[in-house]
Structure 1
Amino acid sequence: MRGIKGALREAWAIARPYWSSEERWSARALLAVVVLLNLGLVGMNVILTFWNRAFFNSLQDKDYAAFTQLLFLGRHDPEEGYLPGFCIVAALFIIVAVAQIYLRQLLQIRWRRWLTARLTANWLHARAYYRLSLTETGTDNPDQRIADDVPGFVNSTLSLGLGLMSSVVTLVSFVAVLWSLSDAVNVLNLPIPGYLVWVALLYSALGTWLTHLVGRALVPVSFNQQKLEANFRFSLVRVREHAEGIALHHGEAGEERVLGSRFRDVVANWRALMTVTKRLTFFTSAFGQVAIIFPFVVAAPAFFAGRITLGALTQTSSVFGQVQGAFSWFVDSYSAVADWRATVQRLSGFTRAIAAAEAHAAEGPRREVAAGPALVAQDVALSLPDGKPLIQDADLTVQPGEAVVITGASGSGKSTLFRALAGIWPFGRGTVSVPQGTEALFLPQRPYIPEGSLRQAVAYPHDPSEYSEAQLHEALSLAGLDALGQRLDETDNWERRLSGGEQQRLALARALLQKPRWLFLDEATASLDPEAEERLYGLLRERLPGTGIVSIAHRPAVAKFHDRQLRLRDGVLAPA
């Protein structure tokens, strides 16, 4: 398969950290046990071929005593030595097979747990997730890559790796047996010993080559199918998350068109997948069916000539099938390898995108510790992700306890400046200096409300245990959410349960509860009525007298609660 070496390098880059991690010894020990059990299954298959030979010979000879001994306790064969009974071999086979599957699944979940934690941590580290959400370069649907591709990679890697190892061990174990069962044949008056081995090799090599020719289009199609399925699922999630907005706009028809378009892409690619799979299945099914009878055909001349017994014929067929199956591992596993390759590509792309985001983490306005008590932004120049300039050399100084409001037309860059002051905007330059040891709280227009109890939502991002019951009730009461005071321990989807105005009140309750030294509000009261907005701004100035406040707002009434007003126009921040 083209690019298989690259796929192996990428797969090893993803897998290697786990096998050299703090869990390496337990993981390696568990893998060693699984491998040994796998080898045990191969060994029992070897024993069964000799048992099969003796069993069919007992049928041919009508030897009832040998027949019953081979079924139960076993017997001593003059040629092969002691052969255990089928019941003994079958019982051991079942025990080993169950243990092998159980321990392999244990290794799978442990590896998945570690890899999921590592990818999630890297995705969140240095706000790589935020930069990727802005650029969407090199990755799409990170939720799918972590939730679906990680277990797919772990399961497929173990399954294919152990399958390949079993095939190699089977080949080594059975080739000698098949060689001993083969007559020598003459080709151009040259004796060819072990001809059944060479026939199996040629048959499998031809099948592998033809399988690749027929199925090589499967990798890109499988990759695209995973991507399109994730896009469709993402659109469905958006409808669920924005149900109210869609209902208010009566936008069902538009959403149906979008969902229909996304699903048509899924169906179209699925049809392409069907076509490739149909061709591949035609060939592999035919290859497998011929493989059933093929060993009988090549061994039949020796049987009809009386050189081998019926048991030897069945053993030859069984051993030939094992050798041919080992040689044909690639044929039988082609679809699984294609799916694995697509998964490796998606995970590798994701890890590269995260690494690139981390490499650019230092870009954007630099945050540092201020020399004095004031918050100072100097020479801040911001641009959009596509490089388009937005703000030019903005300067801002806010003293403790001072309130500054920034106004400007929509799209002028106010919210981008808000993100730069928070230290998260990665496109631009300049310096934002914040006094050491002071806490800042940023409240956007649409506040973030985490999953969990209302108590956790109010205290976020702090631990609720840091605040008393009285403090939590007071903060909610001051923000106009008295009715929620009795529901602090209630777990709900609060982001959907609360209205837009209630969500903004909840965010302001956080500010009143946490009392940060610096408070940044980006249209944080836009969903409130003017009277409530003025009351809450008055409470903020009254309850947080030492807090420096920077507000972004449109309503002129908000300005009276601030000491200074700045206006952002044509990329320039200047006094209004």
Structure 2
Amino acid sequence: MKRVGSFVGDWWRLVIPYFKSEERWIAITLLVGAISLTFVAVGLEVLFNDWNRRFYDSLQNKDEAAFWREITIFSLLAAGFIAAGVARAIVSPYLRLRWRRWLTRQYLAHWLDGRGYYRIELQRTVDNADQRIAEDLRQLGEYTMTLLLGILGAVATLISFLFILWNLSGPLSLKPIGIDITIPGYMAWVALIYAVIGTFFANLVGRRLIPLNFQRQRYEANFRFSLVRVRENAEGIALYRGEEREAEVLNQRFADVFANGWQVLFTQAQLALYQVSYGQIAIIFPYIVTAPGFFSGALTLGVVMQTASAFGQVQGALSFFIDNYTYLAELRAVMDRLMGLQKASDAKPATSIEVAPEPGRSDLGAAGLTLGLPNGQALLADATFALPRGRSTLITGASGSGKSTLFRALAGIWPFGKGQVRVPAGARVLFLPQKPYIPIGTLRDAVKYPDEQSTASDAEIVSALEAVKLGHIAGRMDEVAHWTNILSGGEQQRLAVARALVFKPDWLFLDEATASLDEAMETAVYEALKQRLPAMTMVSIGHRPSLRQWHDRQIELRRGQGEVGRLVEA
């Protein structure tokens, strides 16, 4: 019971927000419509059950007029059943589609808010967040509607047909076996006991599917991710002749998928063996029970068929959890994965680096800045420094000393640390990492990114591209492409600099942003920045001595192995 309560509680917390959202009225209307159509279907089944008795009685009595009358009635019932079926095929899927759209927006906002996606990737608190949003949200709505409508239909069927079966089966006397007891509506009791026993054993067999389905989603996502990595790094793998190694990794990933798939298959086969055996016994049982009465003439063929139909409906309703155990197991796994994503997105460090605009401030600086790695290792402790407006600063240091971490902290995205970063109010600040991000889209959008409000004209964009020696692609402004796969590493870095020329920041931070350029091209890029953005304050992180000439000041981040770093004016 504790597991059932936990399941229902977790399900409620995941499901109910949509029905309280801004879409609640249309969501509730569609839900009520789907439930109503489910009850209509049950009502039609009751009418079909009664029709069975009359139809088979007409056959037994060789009453041709009654036969054709029942055929006409069947046609009307069938038309209603078809109409209800078509309506159900529209209403429930449409509700699921709208629900998925709302959930996707909410989860995307939650995942992106406060850079939760960044923390998750740094800490690896959950795997494959993208797959959880793309697949698990779809399955949440799909399994929920299937099971919810199934349960309501089963309850309505049970109530309707239990009354019919109770009346049809009559009392059963146990006097022939020496027990002076009469059981009223005995077949209803038999169906109930049969279903309870069946549900117990189905749970015993099928509960192993819950962890297996959880792992299946993980292994499938890992395999897809590895395939995508090969596709996105095709050139590097080809140059390294890494095909054999990649094949080994991919086959190992799929080995996990296969091993898990075999375990799922074996468990489902065991469950299927039990479910099919259970169902087949239930088919023949009512005929065995009613056969003596039929052969003695006490029951008509119509009553036998109606009793068998009613028993099947009651047994089917009571066996809902047996027949849908796989769905329940998969829904449990989906819920666990979504709650894991929610928890990881909500998890924030106890301390944080505060980045705040300050009215009247002219320089950009940090106070009490402490930085660490995800494993707790300290990089910088209680550092205070200023980056004056108009004085370009070069930050240097040994590889691994923490320069890029400092860059991320000043950008406000590094979650492991504390202190304050003060920025002049209203200042336009842009950060260029070593590996630029270029969205899939037009070249125009790639240069303007992320400034959606940019009013830069095509002429300005072309001029910026020409300034960084990318004039040869300026004619492809409207071409939609995956530019990361088209441009070389150096071209991508130059496109990022063109982005800065269009954005016109007050403060520009470059973290090895020209590392893929030769010195001549690096010189051309820095000259373009200096000439076109004379009022900009530039802060660069890099190793090359050639960078020194473009900066007025140099700060070195010194940190020995296992030590806490310190900033030293060079």
Aligned residue type for 2:303: A
| 1:302 Cα deviation from its structure 2 partner | 2.1
Instruction: Check if 1:499 corresponds to 2:488.
Output: yes
- Name the structure 2 match of 1:431: 420
1:144-543 residue pairs with structure 2 within 5 A? 144-187=131-174, 188-357=179-348, 360=349, 363-370=351-358, 371-463=360-452, 466-543=455-532
Percentage identity across paired residues of the two chains: 49
Q: Separation in 1 of the partners of 2:261 and 2:95?
A: 32
- Note the alpha carbon deviations across 1:38-85, whole angstroms, 9 max, x for none: 11110000000110100000000011111111101xxxxxxxxxxxx1
- Partner residue in 1 for 2:562: none
- Which residue, out of 78, 82, 91, partners 2:79? 91
CA distance 1:464–1:489, shift in 2 (3 Å): farther
Q: Distance in 1 between matches of 2:138 and 2:238?
A: 36
Report the 3-state secondary structure (helix = DSSP H, G, I; strand = E; otherwise coil) of the residue aligned with 1:466.
coil
CA contact (8 A) 1:144 1:230 kept: yes
- In structure 1, the partner of 2:41 is 41
1:91 positional shift: 0.7
Mapped partners of 1:465, 1:558: distance in 2 = 30
Query: What's the TM-score once normalised by structure 2's chain length?
Result: 0.96
Work out the CA distance in 1 between the residues paired with 2:298 and 2:546: 106
Cα deviation 1:489-512 (Å, max 9, x = unaligned): 111111111100110110000111
* 1:102 corresponds to: 90
Give 1:3 deviation, angstroms. 2.2
Pair 1:135-2:123 in alignment: yes
Map of 1:51 onto structure 2: 51
Deviation at 1:2, TM superposition (A): 7.0
Residue 126 (structure 1) aligned with residue 114 (structure 2): yes
1:114 aligns with 2:91: no
| CA positional deviation for 1:464 | 6.8
1:7–1:345 CA contact under 8 A, matched in 2: no
C-alpha displacement at 1:465, in angstroms? Answer: 5.4
2:361 alignment partner, SS class: coil
Measured after TM superposition, the shift of residue 393 of structure 1 is 2.7
Q: Within 1, Cα distance between the matches of 2:376 and 2:468? A: 40
| 1:262 positional shift | 1.0
Aligned residue for 2:381, secondary structure, equals strand
Please state how far the C-alpha of 1:363 moved relative to its aligned partner: 3.4
Size of the aligned set, in residue pairs, is: 560
RMSD (CA atoms)? 1.2
Once residues 504 and 292 of structure 2 are traced to their aligned partners in structure 1, the CA distance between those partners, rounded to angstroms, is: 93
Q: Which residue of 1 aligns with 2:569?
A: 575
Q: Secondary structure at the match of 1:524?
A: coil
Displacement of 1:339: 0.9
Q: Is 2:230–2:237's contact at 8 Å kept on the other side of the alignment?
A: yes
Give structure 2 stretches of 5+ with no counterpart.
Answer: 560-564
Give structure 1 stretches of 5+ with no counterpart. Answer: 73-84
SS of residue matched to 1:259: helix
Q: Which amino acid aligns with 1:575?
A: E
Secondary structure class of the residue paired with 2:197: helix
Helix, strand or coil: the match of 2:540?
strand
Letter in 2 for 1:297: I
Structure 1 window deviating more from structure 2 (315-324 vs 545-554): it is 545-554
Deviation larger for 520-529 or 178-187 = 178-187
Contact preservation (8 Å) 2:361, 2:425: no
TM-score (norm: length of structure 1): 0.95
* 1:322, distance to aligned residue in structure 2 (A): 0.2
2:493 maps to a residue whose letter is: Q
1:402 and 1:547 in contact (8 A); partners too: no
Say which SS state the counterpart of residue 140 (structure 1) adopts: coil
> How far is 1:26 from its partner?
0.9
